[in-house]
Amino acid sequence: MRHRDFVRTLQRLRPSIIDYHEIFNKFRAVTFTNSTRVTSQPIITGGKAGGNINFNLETKSGEGEINIELPAGFEVNMPIVRAGEHEYRFPIEIDCALTEQNEVMFKPIFADKENVLDQMIHDEVKWFKEQVSKLSDILILMDF
């Protein structure tokens, strides 16, 4: 997604993003206009969610080429279901690529999705077992 769309996605996730203001301000500080040209491929440094995305921009305003550094990910803390009581904390990585038209595209990636969903299922099973532990006349076959 384009930069503007990515920033709007961050705004929608505001209640869940840890350090939202810091992350949001870093992405809002950069603007891509018709007079801006990306002069290098985005490179992730220092690992994924903990690192940065670095690339160079050239503007026609006389500033010349400037180096841009953006976070390569962020953490969210949210329930998996809307009314869920238990919240899960997980990283969102940002894949950043340069298109043939020299546009920087951002793609949020939930790489840890399977692990979080597995943990959610285990938590639900544990809760269910606690709720039915005092029932003596019930047969429960666990297969998940």
Asked if residues 74 and 19 have their Cβ atoms less than 8 Å apart, the reply is yes
Is residue 137, in this structure, part of any structural domain at all?
no
pLDDT of residue 86: 81
Averaged pLDDT, 45-49: 53
Task: Quickly state the pLDDT bin for 105 (edges 50, 70, 90).
Answer: confident
Is residue 56, in this structure, part of any structural domain at all?
yes
Domain count for the chain: 1
Is residue 129, in this structure, part of any structural domain at all?
no
Is residue 94, in this structure, part of any structural domain at all?
yes
Residue with tokens 């269910």: 128
Is residue 21, in this structure, part of any structural domain at all?
yes
Q: What's at 54, amino acid-wise?
A: N
Percent of the chain with pLDDT over 70: 76
Nearest Cα residue to 20 out of 4, 7, 2: 7
Is residue 123, in this structure, part of any structural domain at all?
no
Residue with tokens 């990306």: 38
Question: Could you give the strand order of the β-sheet that contains 104-109, starting from the edge strand earlier in sequence?
Answer: 73-79, 87-98, 104-109
CA distance 15 to 27: 17
Asked if residues 109 and 91 have their Cβ atoms less than 8 Å apart, the reply is no
Percent of the chain with pLDDT over 90: 18
Q: Which domain holds residue 63?
A: 3-112
Q: Which residues of 75-91 are buried (b: 16+ CB within 10 A; e: fewer)?
A: ebeeebeeeeeeebebb
Is residue 37, in this structure, part of any structural domain at all?
yes
